[in-house]
Every structure is written in structure tokens, then in C-alpha cells.
Amino acid sequence: MTFNDLTKAISRSDFANDFLWGVSTSAYQIEGAADIGGRVPSIWDTFSATPGKVRDGSTGAVACDHYHRWEEDLDLAQAMGLNSYRFSIAWTRIFNGVDEQPNPEGLAFYSRLVDGMLARGLQPWCTLYHWDLPQYLQDQGGWENRATIDAYLRYVDVTTTHLGGRVKHWITHNEPWCTAMHGNWDGMHAPGNKSLPLALQVCHNVLVSHGLAVPVIRANVADAKVGIALSLHPIKPASDSAADQEAVVRHDALRNRWFLDALYGRGYPELALRLVGEDAPMVLPGDMEAIGVPCDFLGVNYYFPEVVTNAPDQYPLRTAIVHPQDRQRTDFGWEVSPQGLVDLMARVAREYPTGDLYVTENGSSYDDHVGADGAVDDTARRDYLIRHLVAVRDAIAAGAHIKGYFAWSLLDNFEWSEGYLRRFGLTYVDYPTQRRTVKQSGHWYSALVRGQNQQ
Ligand code: IFM
């Protein structure tokens, strides 16, 4: 399809007037200023400083220096015509593990940031935990230790009290799968453990912390809207064989339903519990009721479908992820599948009483370059964005109550164990100079949001 055909396929008027058009960011990936303002180390400072953990050997110590450049960054979002902005709070700026009282400098930073959003017409969407656990808590067992749940609740209490008059939309956790599994099963993320039972216990404790945080937020924030952001994948079979179809069901049970079933009060899926056997987490009385607390919305982070095959020797799911050659992929190797987003959102809406749905992340990584004319022509990302927004519209038509879309991400940033090798931004960041250049994709998004993409 040509660009003309693509851009004609969609317009702002296809969406409700109050649809949220946003971008997503997270603290560790953009803020930098690691030693400034009373911030203490997080598990990602420790992990990224450990040789061999991050592909380019980088850390988030400076990142996009957003801590100092946040006004310029919010200006970018405003100039794009957006009406919402998703950010996360660095817990390590709020509690240092020594003082009982929260750090006033940390609270003041987020207060200024939120005021900056409101002044620019950006509705603040705050994520409370986007993977940057304070290292002092990891030293006491991290999320495996239930004392971390108490520490989290205190942090949630303080931040929501402080910002709750101005921030109404709260996300308790971003992608608990990644916190638990990449952090503790495959070891790709901080703290870098490699144990399935540990990962499942972490996962459970994180979900309990979500459930217990919801009433705390509601008590502190009048008219609060509270939810969680899950990384979900449509699971597709590698072939039509019955064995691969069954592999899909097993894979889905842990990858998606483990979270969805528990959050919607159905407990962990029987199938997944049977597969993990003795590695299942310890569940205390009341935990599942806590996790199943009703929320106001579900955030879905969608990037690509997972294609799986039957693999009898793979514990615990007896599945393996495969990467068929015949698919369109980003430079990161992730399959480009807008239809996957339609299928996923329609499935979630059909099978769970989610109420409002938001695409809280969606985006693509390509190896961008600034051209001789100073422009960043990221045509592939622009086309990805267009096709996924068409998918959002189609999913709404199919019955999913999607009320907003947050592109990942406003800026290129620190992509975890890939360091700065992967660029996801609608805005290019030249790290040595910290110069920002809005890419072609960002200009197109802005034109759509302003109702001008068809001119
Ligand atoms: O950069 C991450 C983000 O922190 C969480 N969701 C996926 C993004 C791209 O990998």
C-alpha cells in the first residue's frame, strides 16, 4: 500500500472526541540524573553497571537527561497536539531506604512534572512501578520478600497523596510478566536471576501488591481511575497440527491468562498450575481476592504475536517460540502484525469484564538516522503506527471499549538490556548532544491528532 492509501485509511474523526492520544515513557529509560536530587540506586543501576548485562555496556545514568530537560520534552508532546502523557515515578527518588520520611526533592520533581503536563493540556497518566526497584529492597530479597509489598504500599500511599489532586489516572505496575520472568526466570532484566519458582513467587507478590494498592489509591485520590498495564501477546500456532494448537493453549495459559484470569477474579488457570506443578507460588489466604479487586480500566501493551510450536522437552509449558521467516519484522526482529492487535483487544474484551481498555504501549524499533537535511525519515515506523491505529479503530468496531492510545515512545531511550541500540521514539535523540528531532512518524501522528493527515 502506498503512503497515500495508508494515511487515507484513517482520520481523527474515526475516534471518539474524548479519545486519548498520548505517548508513554518510563523514568529509568529517560530521566538520567542518577545521583541527583536524593535519588538512590535501583536494581537497574546495579544490573546495567554489571559487565555483560547490557549489550552496548550502557546504563541509564544519563539517558535522555529528561530530569533536566523535561520542559522541552513536554513541549514536544504538546506541539504534537497530544492530550495525554504517560510517565512513571522512580521509587528511588521518593524513598532512600534510610529516612522514614519521603524525599521532598523527589516529590517536588514529580509535582513540577505533573504541573507541566497540566499546563500543556496533557492528562497525566502515572505508572507507579516500571521495573526500577530500589536496590536496598532487592538487598532484602526484592519482590520475593513480602516486606517489599509493604514498602510498595507506603510508596504508593505517599505518591498518590502528594499528586492525587492533580493525577487521576494511576497504573500500579507496568508489565508484571517482565518484572517477574525477565527479571528472575531468563535473567535478561534486573535483578538477573534464573529460577522459575522464584519468578512465579515474584509474579504473585507483584500482583498482590497491585491488588492491595488499588484501595490505597482510591482512598487518596478523589475520582481515581486505577488499572494495571499488561504486556499481552496473541499466541499463534507454528502450524495447523493438533500438537501446535495445543501448544498455543498451554503457552497462553501462562503468558496471558495467568494475569488476566487472576486479575478478573478467576484465580490462576488450572492448566498453568498443573504445568508448573511444585514451582507454583505460595499463595496466602486472601491473596487471590486481593488480586481480583475490580479496577477501572486495563492497559494493554501490544508489540507482536508469539508463534509457538509443541516442544515436549521444554519445561514447564512444553512449547517453544519460533520466528517464521515469512513475516514482516522491525529492525529488532519483532513481527509486525496489526491484525494481532485487533485479535488481542477483541479477545480481551470478549473474555474479561475489563470495562475501559487503553493501549498503554505500542511501537516499533528501527535503526534511524538523521539525514543530510536534518530530518529523520522513519517511514517504516510511520507505516507501523498508521496500521496499528487502523487496528485500534477496527478493534473498537469489533466491540472493544478502547478509550486511548499511547505510542511507545515520545523519545528514543534506554531499551533495557539492549541499551541505546534500539530506538523506539517518535523523536530522535542524539545522545552526545541531547538534541531532539521529531521523526517523520511523530509528524504524522501529530497530523492525525490534529485532523490534518489527509491534507
Ligand atoms: O521499552 C519497553 C518498555 O519499558 C516496556 N514495554 C516494552 C518497551 C519496548 O521494549
pTM above 0.95, yes or no: yes
Q: Whose CA is nearest to atom 10 of ligand 1?
A: 415
Q: Whose CA is nearest to atom 9 of ligand 1?
A: 415
Q: What's the distance, CA 183 to chain centroid? A: 15
Helices (H), 9-146: 27-30, 43-48, 66-79, 104-119, 135-138
Cell of 350: 470478549
> What is the 415 CA–ligand 1 centroid distance (Å)?
7
DSSP character string of 79-110? HTT-SEEEEE--GGGT--SS-SS--HHHHHHH
Q: Is the CB of 319 under 6 A from ligand 1?
A: no
- Specify the pLDDT at position 1: 87
- Specify the pLDDT at position 455: 82
Q: Is the CB of 405 under 6 A from ligand 1?
A: no
Name the catalytic one among 31, 144, 361, 415: 361
Beta-strand relationship, 427-430 and 435-438: antiparallel
Per-residue pLDDT tens over the stretch 70-103: 999 999 999 999 999 999 999 999 999 999 999 9
Q: Is the CB of 408 under 6 A from ligand 1?
A: yes
Is 144 considered catalytic here? no
pLDDT at 280 over 90: yes
Per-residue pLDDT tens over the stretch 380-434: 999 999 999 999 999 999 999 999 999 999 999 999 999 999 999 999 999 999 9
Task: Give, to the nearest 10 degrees, the angle between helix 379-397 and helix 440-449.
Answer: 30
Per-residue pLDDT tens over the stretch 319-376: 999 999 999 999 999 999 999 999 999 999 999 999 999 999 999 999 999 999 999 9
Partners of residue 229 on adjacent β-strands: 174, 299
Average pLDDT of the residues of the chain: 98
The tally of CA atoms less than 13 A away on the side-chain side of residue 420 is 17
> What is the 24 CA–ligand 1 centroid distance (Å)?
9
> What is the 325 CA–ligand 1 centroid distance (Å)?
24
Looking from the CA of residue 416, the nearest atom of ligand 1 is: 1
Percent of the chain with pLDDT over 90: 99
- Specify the pLDDT at position 356: 98
Residue ranges per domain, the chain? 3-449
Q: Is the CB of 26 under 6 A from ligand 1?
A: yes
- Specify the pLDDT at position 28: 99
- The conformation of residue 411, written as its DSSP 8-state character, comes to B
- Specify the pLDDT at position 436: 98
Is 175 considered catalytic here? yes
> What is the 20 CA–ligand 1 centroid distance (Å)?
20
Which CATH number does 3-449 carry? 3.20.20.80
> What is the 44 CA–ligand 1 centroid distance (Å)?
14
pLDDT at 134 over 90: yes
Confidence of residue 14 (pLDDT cuts 50, 70, 90): very high
Nearest to 129 by CA among 91, 163, 86, 95: 91
Under 8 Å CB-to-CB from 270, ≥6 apart: which residues? none
Looking from the CA of residue 363, the nearest atom of ligand 1 is: 9
